[in-house]
A and B are shown apart, each in its own frame.
Chain A
């Protein structure tokens, strides 16, 4: 079953096209990586999928339900009220710079939304949160505040926070880009462990070997279009000028 479908998505900023007619879909349990040079529209695509940006063309479907679309005369249609809540509950997003709530403890960061938004039982939520923290290797940090944690620990809390809402699909927007190199490993390890649990993920990343290793499918985006799509090996080893140039540049670093 297709969890997410994006059809003919268009997005422009101030009349400048950033995404031109992109279509993609994600199956249940699939891990999709999106790679590409800066400014190719990867993050924007993710922000469209999570409705942080409004699309200028095309349609987005979650679980086969039409979540957002632009109709024939160019009017954007976005869900409202209960419908919007339902759509939002399908996905979670992990930000590049974590965006943890600094005034909440680690525990509250994770449990506040399930309790306040999903109205779930406090005890159940706390139990699940403790399990998640254990999985993240942060059991001893539940009463700490984000400012007391390292970047890698913060990102792991952010992942736990997203997972606590039990999303069908989890988006990662360059989850290690804001981290010191020695801290990226611990975050990647956590994401890897999620892969083993068959959680559906869409990951925008610059970590090429990680993407190649973990993904079921890779999309190479360039200048607002999907330039290449396929199994990791197919994409990374493709005889395609743009991706060779891109991978070459990355290796130089």
Chain B
């Protein structure tokens, strides 16, 4: 196989890895916030459910969760799963898992906010939503950014777990080429891709952090 063909194949895999990455972030970041609200809710039932959910998501391997999400509908409900569900299952599995981690990060940030900020907003007449989204959340974001960066970098590498559902992302394709051509080159390319991708993510997050460093 020519190197150019190999790179072409791997780059289609890259695109798929990146769509897993971005879609997971798009869904899991807001979902994580909702879960953290549930986790901190005054309603004991809701709070317990979210606690159990987070505990399961963090306590079992992501690969296993992907298998459950993909094959679960058949085993639980006897549903026939079609061709496009594979990708949906991957996004669903990743989002559900990462939302649990993000929820705990949000919670740590929200709970670390001094009560005075809420009180000041209340006395100034901010409603609950206004108080959260204008006053509390922006400060929470700054506080939790380093933890979020950690998770995001892990996510870049975790996209390779999609190979367990044989989705043709970067790593799956690298493995397939390696098998057919009995060569190590695709793995080297894959390693470079993941490293560079993460480098970009790290630099981007650092920029955001710097942007938020105007106050402390």
**A interface residues, Cβ below 8 angstroms from B:** 50-52, 85, 88-89, 91-93, 95, 97, 99-103, 112-113, 116-118, 145-147, 161-162, 165
A145-B116 in contact (CB<8A): no
Rounded to whole angstroms, the CA-CA distance of A112 and B126 in the bound complex is 10
Rounded to whole angstroms, the CA-CA distance of A203 and B63 in the bound complex is 61
How far does the Cβ of B143 sit from chain A's closest Cβ, in whole Å?
11
Give me the 7 closest cross-chain CB pairs, A-B, nearest first: A99-B120, A99-B116, A113-B124, A117-B125, A93-B123, A145-B215, A102-B215
Within 8 Å CB of B130, what residues of A?
Answer: 116-117
How far does the Cβ of A62 sit from chain B's closest Cβ, in whole Å?
14
Rounded to whole angstroms, the CA-CA distance of A85 and B124 in the bound complex is 10
- Is B135 part of the binding interface, using a Cβ–Cβ cutoff of 8 Å? yes
How far does the Cβ of A196 sit from chain B's closest Cβ, in whole Å?
24
Pick from B114, B123, B215, B216: contact of A50, CB under 8 Å: B123
Rounded to whole angstroms, the CA-CA distance of A25 and B103 in the bound complex is 47
- Is B147 part of the binding interface, using a Cβ–Cβ cutoff of 8 Å? no
**B interface residues, Cβ below 8 angstroms from A:** 114, 116-117, 119-126, 130, 134-135, 138-139, 142, 214-216
B120-A165 in contact (CB<8A): no
Q: Closest B-chain residue to A171, C-beta based?
A: B123
B116-A88 in contact (CB<8A): no
B214-A99 in contact (CB<8A): no
B125-A101 in contact (CB<8A): no
B124-A145 in contact (CB<8A): no
Rounded to whole angstroms, the CA-CA distance of A78 and B151 in the bound complex is 43
* 8 A–B pairs (Cβ distance < 8 Å), ordered by A: A91-B123, A99-B117, A99-B120, A100-B120, A101-B120, A117-B125, A162-B124, A165-B124
Asked whether A92 and B123 contact (CB < 8 A) given A103-B139, A116-B134, A145-B214, the answer is: yes
Pick from A51, A97, A161: contact of B124, CB under 8 Å: A161
A146-B215 in contact (CB<8A): yes
Rounded to whole angstroms, the CA-CA distance of A101 and B122 in the bound complex is 13
Within 8 Å CB of B120, what residues of A?
Answer: 95, 99-101
Known: A85-B125, A102-B216, A103-B215. 20 other contacts (CB 8 A): A50-B123, A51-B122, A52-B122, A52-B123, A92-B123, A92-B124, A93-B123, A97-B116, A99-B117, A101-B120, A101-B121, A101-B139, A103-B139, A113-B124, A113-B126, A116-B126, A117-B130, A146-B215, A147-B215, A162-B124
Rounded to whole angstroms, the CA-CA distance of A113 and B127 in the bound complex is 11
A103-B125 in contact (CB<8A): no
Rounded to whole angstroms, the CA-CA distance of A103 and B120 in the bound complex is 14
Q: Closest A-chain residue to B123, C-beta based?
A: A93
Rounded to whole angstroms, the CA-CA distance of A194 and B120 in the bound complex is 21
How far does the Cβ of A122 sit from chain B's closest Cβ, in whole Å?
16
A99-B125 in contact (CB<8A): no
A103-B123 in contact (CB<8A): no
B139-A117 in contact (CB<8A): no
A165-B125 in contact (CB<8A): yes
Q: Closest B-chain residue to A89, C-beta based?
A: B125
A88-B123 in contact (CB<8A): yes
Within 8 Å CB of A100, what residues of B?
Answer: 120
Rounded to whole angstroms, the CA-CA distance of A92 and B122 in the bound complex is 10
Q: Closest A-chain residue to B114, C-beta based?
A: A99
Within 8 Å CB of B126, what residues of A?
Answer: 113, 116-117
Rounded to whole angstroms, the CA-CA distance of A88 and B121 in the bound complex is 11
B124-A103 in contact (CB<8A): no
A99-B215 in contact (CB<8A): no
Name the residue in B122, B139, B215 with the highest tally of chain A Cβ atoms < 10 Å from its Cβ. Answer: B215
Rounded to whole angstroms, the CA-CA distance of A245 and B154 in the bound complex is 64
Name the residue in A51, A100, A113, A145 with the highest tally of chain B Cβ atoms < 10 Å from its Cβ. Answer: A113
A99-B119 in contact (CB<8A): yes
How far does the Cβ of A233 sit from chain B's closest Cβ, in whole Å?
33
